[in-house]
Amino acid sequence: MSKKDCVPYGSDVSAGTYECADCGHIYSNQSKTSMPPCPEHGKSPHKLNCWIILSGRGDNPKDPYPDE
C-alpha cells in the first residue's frame, strides 16, 4: 500500500496521527474511520481540504476515493 501525500476529508484511514495540510491542526484517531474535516475549516481558509500522514498506515487501499 502506498501512502498518499494528502488524504482527502472523508477517506477511510488506519489509526494514526494526521496534520491538516492547510493549517497544521493535529488529529489522532484510534480506529479505522472516515477522516473528518479539520475543525478549523470554518475558521480559516482551507484550499487543500486534506490531511498529511504523520504516523500510521494512512489511506486504506479500499478507500472510496482510490484515484485521488
In a domain, 61, yes or no: no
Q: Residue 15 has which C-alpha cell?
A: 489509526
In a domain, 66, yes or no: no
In a domain, 13, yes or no: yes
pTM score, two decimals?
0.74
> Looking at per-residue confidence, does 26 or 1 come out higher?
26
In a domain, 63, yes or no: no
In a domain, 22, yes or no: yes
Instruction: Count how many domains the chain has.
Output: 1
Residue-wise pLDDT tens digits, 4-61 = 678 899 888 888 899 999 999 999 987 666 889 999 998 989 999 999 999 876 655 5
In a domain, 23, yes or no: yes
Full domain range(s) for residue 45: 7-56
In a domain, 1, yes or no: no
Radius of gyration of the chain (CA): 11
Q: How many CB atoms lie within 10 A of CB 16?
A: 18
